[in-house]
Homo-oligomer: A and B are copies of this chain.
């Protein structure tokens, strides 16, 4: 089957976003990452700032609290509203054009399509820490904290809204360790698979 949509899930600091951007550019297709936020905001009626800070990430309180707090009388939490808006936007984008979509559970949201290549980019801790130190100008210990915290929130969000476990190879067509393989080879392997 021909793949026209590439979803990239990634560990924080693994370079997944960078790799996705490069692939989109090389293939001359659309790239959706932060640019999706405005559309989700419009769909949900929430502010772009709120979406940026909360979509894709669970609140810091963790899975159990996540599931049971902040729900209105209809049983919908504000996270559910964001997720539903995000789901609609991703389905519309996939219908419209070939593209790379970063994160936001797009692999699961587009599960019923057969033209999607799902990629998971992960890496070794030392390389991820180095990257985060450089990108955000933080200390090593702060970088470790950012990595653990962000990945925990991504994992909680993913596991809550899908019936899958974040980071299980089975969810993805391809999973690549960018620290061991290197970014250019990751890009080339992804492009060979579409």
> Does A176 have its Cβ within 8 Å of any Cβ on chain B?
yes
Question: Which of A18-26, A43-51, A162-170 touches B?
Answer: A162-170
Q: Is the CB of B167 within 8 A of A172?
A: no
> Does A27 have its Cβ within 8 Å of any Cβ on chain B?
no
Question: Which of A90-98, A139-147, A177-185 touches B?
Answer: A177-185
Q: Is the CB of A181 within 8 A of B174?
A: yes
Chain B: which residue is nearest A174 at the CB level?
A: B176
Q: State the CA gap A122–B176 with chains docked (Å).
A: 14
> How many whole Å from A84's CB to the nearest CB in chain B?
28
Tell me what chain A mostly uses at the interface: helix, strand, loop, or mixed.
mixed
> How many whole Å from A37's CB to the nearest CB in chain B?
27
Chain B: which residue is nearest A189 at the CB level?
A: B189
> Does A120 have its Cβ within 8 Å of any Cβ on chain B?
yes
Q: Is the CB of A180 within 8 A of B169?
A: no
Q: Is the CB of B189 within 8 A of A122?
A: no
Contacts of A86 in B (CB 8 A): none
- Given A169-B172, A175-B175; 4 other pairs, CB 8 A cutoff: A120-B175, A172-B177, A173-B177, A189-B192
